[in-house]
Amino acid sequence: MMKKILFASILAASSVFAHTALMSCFDNGDSTITCEGGFSDGSSANGVIFKVIQNGKTLEEGKFNEDSEFTFKKPEGEYEAHFDAGEGHKVIVKSSDIAE
């Protein structure tokens, strides 16, 4: 009985960490940036919270669309793009890591 409980606990814990949040962002060349999000298991990021943060302030907030994308106007200066699907599923891309 104890082995079954232990196995069920390990299985439940492993399923919680079965996928990793992923996001990449690119400059569209028209003063906008597009970020694409998703999960390592192939799951969509549709509806996941997205934020653009600069100097600790949220400049823009929304959700990834049905294509798991979010496009925003490129801010002046340094900023961060945040993918936030909850605890353990957050990704931050700094503007300095986005190729122009």
CATH placement of domain 20-97 = 2.60.40.1940
Long-range contacts of 74-78 (CB under 8 A, 24+ apart): 74/27, 74/31, 74/32, 74/33, 78/54
25 has pLDDT over 60: yes
Q: Indicate the pTM of the whole model.
A: 0.79
Instruction: Report domain extents, the chain.
Output: 20-97
Mean of the pLDDT values across residues 25-45?
A: 96
pLDDT in tens, 48-77: 999 999 999 999 999 999 999 999 999 999
